[in-house]
Amino acid sequence: MEACRITARDLACRRGDRVLFAGLSLDLAGGEACQVVAPNGMGKSSLIRIIAGLLRPFAGSVERHGMAGLLDERPALDEHQPLGAALDFWHRLDPQSAPLDQLGLADLTDVPVRYLSTGQRKRAALARLIGQQAPIWLLDEPLNGLDTRGVAMVEDLVAGHVAAGGLALIASHQPFALPDLRRLDLATYTR
């Protein structure tokens, strides 16, 4: 996997009139994983979107080397399409096809996305993320809606990704079992 790195300096995030966090610095290299923890509404998702380059920080700068893949609550799959066809669209843009067997989706390829459950959607979004082959994984609440087997599967996937030299930034309020997982508590950066 290509070398990747995220360097964030003195980040601050403002939503509306509120500064959610300020003075946040972060340095992550390939092979490292970090979990962002904070209560709801403290800016976990905003931090992920700032690192992804989708949201401008109120202050500070982000340097990102390597392509980033984002997993959030929106699977970005066509609701009326069967799951197989919806994932095929991303396969045309991305280097690899999604490992459906591994994610327990092999039997669902004919089912329209709108009939999938929350957990199944999350698995489908993971399939899209894996197909993208991005060295940087930005995961916003990756465990939401997943059963215990799904949680273990995501933890295995992230462990495999990090072991292969990838980088993972995980925003989650749930415990995430991963060896050498760094923790970043947003509450220490609030004013």
Partner 1 sequence: MSTLAALLRRDLARLLPGMRGGGSLLPLLFFLAVAMLYPFAIGPNPTLLAATGGGVIWVAALLAAILPLDRLLASDVEAGFFDQWALRGVSEELLVAVRMVAHWLSFGPFIMLAALPASALVGIDGDKLRTVELGLLAGTPGLAAIGVIIASVTVALKGGGAALSGLLLIPLAVPLLVFGAGSLSTGGEGGLALTGAISLLLVAIAPFAGGAAIRAAREG
Q: Which of 8, 13, 42, 70 binds partner 1 (CB under 8 A)?
A: 70
Applying CB under 8 A, does 89 fall inside the site for partner 1? yes
Closer CB to partner 1, 37 or 71, in the complex: 71
Question: What six digits make up the tokens of 74?
Answer: 């929106």
Q: Is position 75 an interface residue for partner 1 (rule: CB under 8 A)?
A: yes
Cα–Cα distance, 157 to 182 (Å, whole number): 17
Is residue 60 part of the contact set for partner 1 (CB under 8 A)?
Answer: no
Q: 167-171 and 33-37 as β-strands: parallel, antiparallel, unpaired?
A: parallel
DSSP state of 180: T
Near partner 1 by CB under 8 A: residue from 10, 63, 79, 185: 79
Measured between alpha carbons, how far is 96 from 132 in angstroms, rounded to an integer?
Answer: 7
Contact 124, 157 (CB under 8 A): no
Residues near partner 1 (CB under 8 A), total:
26
**Contact footprint for partner 1 (CB under 8 A):** 52-56, 67-70, 72, 74-81, 89-90, 92-94, 128, 132, 134
